Amino acid sequence: MIFPQNIGARLSLDEVALSQGELYTVLTNKKAKGRKGAIVAIIHGVKSEVVTKHLLKIPRHLRRKVKEITLDMASNMKLIVDHCFVKATQVIDRFHVQQLSLEALQNIRIKHRWDAIDEENDLIKESRKSSKAYLPKEYDNGDTKKQLLARSRYLLYKSVDKWTESQQKRATILFHEFPDIKKANEVNQELRSIYNPSQSKSVAMTKHAHWYKKVEESNFKQFNTVMNTISNN
């Protein structure tokens, strides 16, 4: 379905799963803010050649009026915009940037979790050799090291002010035991705050520069993809 009359200067391009998990490429007009006239196109599939073929049905003079398109980092989305909207500036969706930052943070946690699993397995083997029952150390909240790292997954997805009382207690233990996770979480939370819509673009850009420097100094290689995405966009 294509609705050329709904095209505008600022669009969003994304893939969505509708019925039975089938993927569709959806092009929307930001000005409509999800209301009437928001849909410019809904195309079955996400292959760039298929989507491009249909979007090129929109008159050329209308496509050239598009000044900006927000999209994710998928190569097929970039190809679609390159072919169909040659005058448009491509802007990476901030939610995808934040998702990359979250993944970097979670990767650090996951690495520690695998180390904890290996450590526990070694201790269990040692206990069996000496015919003793293995009793893992528990922290004040009842978590073992392995459980602490597994159960901290969800609290790291949330902003600090939204933690429950039990999550606050778990975070205190986690950050004491694993200072690098604490530092990585601070980096992630700082990036989240930069995208606060109440601040000006110039302020956000300055904060981005400070954030970038902080990540470089931290030597967190997990955040390299995030930094590259920001610097390229």
pLDDT in tens, 155-173: 998 888 899 999 999 999 9
Chain centre to alpha carbon of residue 178: 23
The residue-averaged pLDDT of 51-75 equals: 89
Tell me which of 18-32, 93-107, 197-211 is least confident.
197-211
Would you place residue 197 in the very low, low, confident or very high pLDDT band (cuts 50, 70, 90)? low
Residue 174 pairs in a beta bridge with none
- 214, pLDDT greater than 80: no
Would you place residue 182 in the very low, low, confident or very high pLDDT band (cuts 50, 70, 90)? very high
Chain centre to alpha carbon of residue 129: 45
The residue-averaged pLDDT of 193-213 equals: 73
Contacts of 97 (CB under 8 A, 6+ apart): 191, 226, 229, 230
The residue-averaged pLDDT of 196-209 equals: 72
- 26, pLDDT greater than 70: yes
Count Cβ atoms within 10 A of the Cβ of residue 73 and give its class: 0-12 exposed, 13-18 middle, 19 or more buried.
middle
Q: Measured between alpha carbons, how far is 52 from 64 in angstroms, rounded to an integer?
A: 15
Structural domains in the chain plus CATH codes: 4-92 (3.30.420.10), 95-232 (no CATH)
pLDDT attached to residue 80: 92
Tokens 């930069």 belong to residue: 194
Q: What is the C-alpha end-to-end distance of the chain, expressed in Å?
A: 30
